[in-house]
Structure formats: structure tokens, C-alpha cells
Amino acid sequence: MSDQGVKVAVRCRPFNQREKDRGAKLIIDMNGAMTTIQNPETPNEEPKKFTFDFSYWSHDGYNEKDDGYLEAQPGSKYSSQRRVFEDLGQGVLDNAFKGFNCSLFAYGQTGSGKSYSMVGYGNNKGIVPITCDELFKAIEAGDKATKYEVTFSMLEIYNEQVRDLLSKDNPKGGLQVRQNPKLGLFYVVGLKKVAVGSYAEIDKRTQEGTANRTVASTNMNATSSRAHTVVTITFDQISKNEAGEETKKSSVINLVDLAGSERADSTGATGDRLKEGANINKSLSALGNVISALADLSGGKKKVMVPYRDSVLTKLLQNALGGNSKTVMIAALSPADINYDETLSTLRYADRAKKIKNKAVVNENPLD
């Protein structure tokens, strides 16, 4: 068994056009493991300090290559997509091969860089595609006597309803979430789980799923999804042990791009959009409560109820958060003074997640 905390990473993006147009000021700094944030209203006060397992400065210090890839200028502290993959994605891969469940989720306000880190844009591929690509490369190079099986599924949680992104006809009201009586874990009834044999197949399925997402525009970011997107990859390795018996090592990999963490009122939402915002907050505030409860438990507090059942998101992430999983959270930060309140709340959220200790075990069982 491996008793290990949730690993938390923070990443600070460049200014966007809107911030540049408004003459935004930089209020984030990173030095080694330390991230600081300056309250723009009290510039003479000491900035607030946080430390995390990984700190990625991606605000400046990069060159754009001909193919659009952003790479670090020599000597700069800029963290490229490759660098982030090498720390976070490679760890996921290594653990998956060992038979641990793994989860990676991205938290932050809309426009802060969650999808950039997870999925990426153009040639700046994010952790998810690079990890999938490397998974199949490792399988190719792997033990020929081992049988490898990979499946892929993709869902979104929108207004507390689950939609299968690999399915064209989702039932009205969404798919049901049920609890497995034996394992105690929640699962989505009837979710499509497709076998994949190459990175190209995963890529095709991801594009299919992305096209099926619910896209609603808000004032804050016209193209951003207001839903939580969950990609699940199962990875099984079947081989013979020394006694000649077949055994199976299994790993479930959850890759979660969360909806924007901002409060509904800051996006100017009304009507249907407001209801949507309230529900998004329901899932995210439930996630916050689960994180707090788990942090208390890990801190030695007794008799803490972990409220997984309060939202669809926390039901599905139960194992990823407080159970049998090696978990990484990446908190995406805006560099700009105009987002101070949201960025500070993201840093506090990430700081609480750091305190969670999971107990991940290798999933290895004889085949029956």
C-alpha cells in the first residue's frame, strides 16, 4: 500500500488579450516551490504565500516555434507543456503500469488555463493526449508475453446530469448514477466504454466526444464549456505469474477538466444560465466540502462525514479523491490583478487539497 498525499500543482498562464487591453498588472510570482499573490488593493502589504508540490510559471519567458509550440527561452523559468507532462503525466503512466488507479484533475476559473494544461490547443498538446500517446508507445515497447487492454469513455456533468459524450442519443434527464453494492463505488449506468488499440483511436474518440459537448457561452469566455468533462481510461495487463497462473493488473485513470470555479454573479449570468451556474457551483462546492472533510480526516480528526453523495461529481470522483487512487490536482491561475479574488480562492482550494492522504493499492488479482 502506498500512503500518499494528493499532489498539487499550480500553473500561471500569460496575460490574455482582455487583460492586456485593460492594462492588467501581474500579481502572481513563483520562486521554487513558493507561489505568492499580491492583493492589488494593498500593494504595500506582504503578498500571501503558498507552497505546492509543483509550481509552473508559464506566464512569460517563452518563444513560439514555427509550428506554434511554446518552448522555454534558455535560462527562463517558463514551464512548457512537455515539462508539465514529464512531471505529472509520466507519473500517471508509471503508476498505471504498476496497477494503481490514478486521477488528474484541473481546477480554476474559466479562462485560467485548465483545458490548455489538460488537453491543449494545436501543437501545444496537453497532458491527456501526450499521456495517451506515451501509453501506447510503452505498450509497444512492453513485454510481449503480457496482454494489454485499454478502454476509453468520456462523459460530461452538466446541470447535475450525466451525458455520455460517445453517444448520440442520451436520455432526457441524463444517465443514471448508481452505487455498486459490493464495492460501494458509484458508476454511470449504460456509459459507453470502447476498446482502443492505438493513440489514433483515442484521438478520434476524443474529437468525437469534444464535438458532443454542451457548449454554452457566457460573458466571461464565449467558447468555454460550462460542464465538467471526465475522461476515463482503463488499463489492464494480463500476464502469467511464476506459478503459471494468469493474473490481471488493472488501473483506472480519471482525467477531469472541471467547469469554471467562478461564482455565477461574476459572469453576468441570468435565467437558464444562472440555474446552470448554481448547479455548477453545487458540484464544485460539494467538491470543496469533500476536500475539506478529507483534509480533516488526514489531519487526524475523527468522525468526519465525507459528503460524497452531495453531487454527481463527488460521487464519480469518490475513489479519485479519498480512496484507492494516486491523485494530482492542477490549479490554473490567472496572472492578472482583475482576477485577484478568484485566483486567491483557487489557491486556497488547492492548499486544502494538499492535505488529503489517499491509500492507493495495486490492483492485481488472479483471473477467474
Distance, CA of 219 to CA of 124 (rounded, Å): 26
Query: Per the residue annotation, which of 56, 62, 116, 349 is the catalytic one?
Result: 116
Nearer to Mg ion, 117 or 311 (CB): 117
How far is it, in rounded angstroms, from Cα 140 to Cα 120? 25
Beta-bridge partner residues of 363: 250
Binding of ligand ADP at residue 111 (CB under 6 A)?
A: yes
- Per-position x/- string for 78-97, each x denoting binding to ligand ADP as judged by CB under 6 A, each - no binding: --------------------
CB of residue 257 to Mg ion, shortest distance in Å: 6
- 133, 164, 257, 337: the catalytic one is 257
Residue 340 belongs to what H/E stretch?
A: helix 340-353
Report d(CA 291, CA 295) in Å as an integer: 6
Of 119 and 202, the one with the shorter C-beta distance to ligand ADP is 119
The reply to whether 260 belongs to the active site is: yes
List the catalytic residue out of 108, 126, 209, 260.
Answer: 260
Stretch that binds ligand ADP, among 104-112, 226-234, 302-310, 345-353 (CB under 6 A): 104-112
Residues 6+ apart with CB under 8 A from 316: 157, 177, 186, 187, 188, 230
Q: Are 306 and 295 in contact (CB under 8 A)?
A: no
For position 174 contacting ligand ADP by CB under 6 A, the verdict is no
Tell me how far the alpha carbon of residue 193 is from its chain's centroid: 20
d(CA 268, CA 247): 55
Residue 219 CB, nearest distance to ligand ADP (Å)? 13
Question: Which CB sits closer to Mg ion, 115 or 254?
Answer: 115
87 secondary structure, DSSP code: I
Q: Does 121 bind ligand ADP (CB under 6 A)?
A: yes
Question: Using the rule CB under 6 A, which residue among 50, 89, 114, 326 binds ligand ADP?
Answer: 114
Pairing of strands 54-57, 7-12: parallel
Name the residue among 349, 326, 187 with its Cα closest to residue 258. Answer: 349
Least Å from the CB of residue 251 to Mg ion: 26
- Whole-angstrom distance, CA of residue 226 vs CA of residue 346: 17
**Is there a catalytic annotation at residue 169?**
no
Residue ranges in 148-167 that form contacts with ligand ADP under rule CB under 6 A:
none
Nearest approach, Cβ of 138 to Mg ion (angstroms)?
A: 28
Q: Which of 35, 58, 159, 358 is in the footprint of ligand ADP by CB under 6 A? A: 58
Considering only residues 115, 161, 250, 314, which one is a binding residue for Mg ion as defined by CB under 5 A?
Answer: 115
Report in angstroms how near the CB of residue 14 gets to ligand ADP at its nearest.
5
Burial-class residue 279 by CB neighbours within 10 Å (0-12, 13-18, 19+). Answer: buried
In the complex with ligand ADP, the residue whose CB is nearer, 109 or 318, is 109
Question: Of 91, 108, 111, 323, which is the active-site residue?
Answer: 111
**Which segments of 183-265 are extended strands (E)?**
186-188, 194-195, 228-240, 246-257
**Count of residues interacting with Mg ion (CB under 5 A):** 2
What single-letter amino acid sits at 196? V
Active-site pick, 114, 125, 315, 354:
114
With CB under 6 A as the contact rule, the residue among 55, 224, 254, 327 that binds ligand ADP is: 224
> Among residues 247, 191, 272, 187, which one has the least CA distance to residue 368?
247
Rg of the chain over Cα atoms, rounded to whole angstroms, equals: 20
Give every strand in the sheet of 28-31, ordered side by side. Answer: 28-31, 34-37, 48-51
Is residue 116 a contact residue for ligand ADP (CB under 6 A)?
A: yes
Q: Least Å distance between CB 173 and ligand ADP?
A: 27
Amino acid at 368: D
In the complex with ligand ADP, the residue whose CB is nearer, 52 or 308, is 52
Establish if 14 lies at the interface with ligand ADP (CB under 6 A): yes
Please identify every residue annotated as catalytic: 111, 113-116, 257, 260
Q: Which residues make up the interface to Mg ion (CB under 5 A)? A: 114-115
Q: Which residues make up the interface to ligand ADP (CB under 6 A)? A: 11, 13-14, 16, 58, 70, 108, 110-116, 121, 221, 224, 332
